[in-house]
Structure 1
């Protein structure tokens, strides 16, 4: 499985490596929503979260599906500007101005990407103008919960108002925490962009891509870049350019913007943040012992994907509730799962950060 980029006719001067403050803000929001994906950012995420105004924290939940599980193309609006040659802005304000330049159809389709309702790598009907596409988008949004449905209804009813809401929200995030974060990251991102640009100029595209990620390969004969990912997709530069956008907060995600009609973008991580302090030997021994049981390994696989009640786990694994409870108790004592109450139900979920610190091979194995 892979994403393929047709680069037929692409000239070296049409390839740019540029940092994007808006894309990095999107990754900041993702890391705050899914800290388990970024264990090295635990300290930063905790500091930001503790300092957030409660009202802004609530607003973060209104449209977190734009960055929690699907990184919306709205965070890379330069790719949607006609001509395929627009670069990211030097400041967040410049990039928000580019976001305003997207047509209502582009804005709505990119914002509705989380519903998977519309074709992505090929042309298709726009939800704003096609009744069937609109119905399907709302149907899928409803399946994802009332919050997603409410946002989708507002978006389709009044795109300019939703666009203004998003811009104001991003500006408020900038004032609250991102401006300070960006001031520390932008020099590192700019240095990496310069390094990749030098490789591109002096050693060619193959060397530059190899320095970005071993998951990228260049087939000169076929004029194609292949990105090894658990997903299928295709796009083409088609007379436009190719953008490489570095991210610090986005590690380990390597993402490809391959929306039909948009400029292809490779959004790649540059460095590994420092991990948090390791647990004590006693705690480490306890955790490894808890994971040595095959049933607990299977439970971890389930709990890594979502929160479950004891009864749900018992049904899914063909065991009794008391048996499941004993295994959950061992995992909880080792600090490997968290619990929360929802009404009369208690939900259990894997503490991904703690498991990641035991080893990426184990984590990747249960998430494969």
Structure 2
């Protein structure tokens, strides 16, 4: 599965790398709401949450569905502005000015993304602002998420300008409370990464640049598409003449481990990617993750993992221990090895197998604790 961006004929100068203060604020708010997703900055999140004024904390709680479980496209409103360079603002105020340029229909559609509308990425010919059926459906979907979401949706549909002003004031107050300091700390790093990727694109081409951005990104031999390896399938285009050609890559310090692809119809596509820290390992492909989950789903392979987590074993030793035939054990070990979960080393005429604890540790501490218990 992947999200595909069509780029056939797109010139390099329309592939933009640039930081976005509003997008970074969005990832910062997500981190504050879900610090468990971002262990590397948990200390920062704890300190910021502890220092938030109570009024601001309450207002953030009222709207956290815009960034907690989804990352609302209003955080990258620059992508929906027609006839622009496709570049975000240099400051939060400039990014918010670009967001203000969106028509009410576009803003409402983006703000309602948390309802998981099946129309995301499709050509919506009508709007819940004008279509009573779509309006009722939007309220129904929001109600399923909770009373807070329903109240927000009803207010948004009744008075979009008031909600837009409230959201802007909320983000401005975030800047005053904590984000100005955060942005000053990270903006040079983000700008440097954007310059480095732009230069890499000029010198080595798109394929090498995408690989440097994330192993989850790739292009085909003829450079007609960009594919993002995701647990979802979608298509969009960076060469829509009505929107203007271009795709924007936005680096983020707070984004890891998320890689987001904005693919809303009528907006320029955006790839929002984490800057890789030296200690970060490359993300798994969806297929490789699937292989690992399937390998561990078999009860006998789980039993084998229990032994292999403690010490290296040969096929014969494992066969004797579990009263199995050597070929049967070999088949189980082959599945584990193909999934990258075990290592093999030769000792004379014997081959010993052992669980790779670093690999399984990335799958989760619960599994590791279970096999080591």
Residue 242 of structure 1, aligned match among 243, 247, 256:
247
Alpha carbons 1:31, 1:38 under 8 Å: kept? yes
Tell me by how many angstroms 1:30 deviates.
Answer: 0.2
Tell me by how many angstroms 1:127 deviates.
Answer: 1.5
- Sort the Cα spacing of 1:42 and 1:273 in 2 relative to 1 into closer, same or farther, 3 A: farther
- Sort the Cα spacing of 1:273 and 1:194 in 2 relative to 1 into closer, same or farther, 3 A: same
Measured against aligned partners, the alpha-carbon deviations of 1:71-114 in whole angstroms (never above 9, x if no partner) come to 00000011000136331011000000001100000000000011
Show structure 1 runs of 5+ residues with no match: 276-293, 298-355
Alpha carbons 2:17, 2:249 under 8 Å: kept? yes
Alpha carbons 1:117, 1:133 under 8 Å: kept? no
Tell me by how many angstroms 1:274 deviates.
Answer: 7.7
Alpha carbons 1:19, 1:245 under 8 Å: kept? yes
Q: Which residue of 2 aligns with 1:153?
A: 154
Counterpart secondary structure, 2:364: helix
Counterpart secondary structure, 1:139: helix
* TM-score normalised per structure 2: 0.74
**What is the CA–CA distance in structure 2 between the aligned matches of 1:195 and 1:204, rounded to whole Å?**
13
Tell me by how many angstroms 1:363 deviates.
Answer: 5.9
- Sort the Cα spacing of 1:63 and 1:365 in 2 relative to 1 into closer, same or farther, 3 A: farther
Alpha carbons 2:86, 2:248 under 8 Å: kept? no
Q: Which residue of 1 aligns with 2:69?
A: 69
Q: Which residue of 2 aligns with 1:182?
A: 183
**What is the CA–CA distance in structure 1 between the aligned matches of 2:182 and 2:76, rounded to whole Å?**
19
Q: Which has the higher contact order (CA 8 A, sep 6+)?
A: 1
1:359 equivalenced with 2:365 (yes/no): no
Q: Which residue of 2 aligns with 1:192?
A: 193
Counterpart secondary structure, 2:249: strand
**What is the CA–CA distance in structure 2 between the aligned matches of 1:152 and 1:44, rounded to whole Å?**
32
**What is the CA–CA distance in structure 2 between the aligned matches of 1:274 and 1:228, rounded to whole Å?**
22
Show structure 2 runs of 5+ residues with no match: 281-298, 303-357, 369-373
**What is the CA–CA distance in structure 2 between the aligned matches of 1:127 and 1:117, rounded to whole Å?**
12
Alpha carbons 1:40, 1:272 under 8 Å: kept? no
Measured against aligned partners, the alpha-carbon deviations of 1:118-142 in whole angstroms (never above 9, x if no partner) come to 5122202322111111111100100
Mapping of residues 1-368 of structure 1, within 5 Å: 1-83=1-83, 85-117=85-117, 119-124=119-124, 125-221=126-222, 223-238=224-239, 239=241, 240-272=245-277, 359-362=361-364
Alpha carbons 2:16, 2:86 under 8 Å: kept? no
**What is the CA–CA distance in structure 2 between the aligned matches of 1:15 and 1:365, rounded to whole Å?**
42
Alpha carbons 1:84, 1:262 under 8 Å: kept? no
- Sort the Cα spacing of 1:126 and 1:270 in 2 relative to 1 into closer, same or farther, 3 A: same
- Sort the Cα spacing of 1:84 and 1:270 in 2 relative to 1 into closer, same or farther, 3 A: same
- Sort the Cα spacing of 1:251 and 1:62 in 2 relative to 1 into closer, same or farther, 3 A: same
**What is the CA–CA distance in structure 1 between the aligned matches of 2:167 and 2:269, rounded to whole Å?**
24
Q: What is the aligned residue count?
A: 288
Higher radius of gyration, 1 or 2: 2
RMSD: 2.2
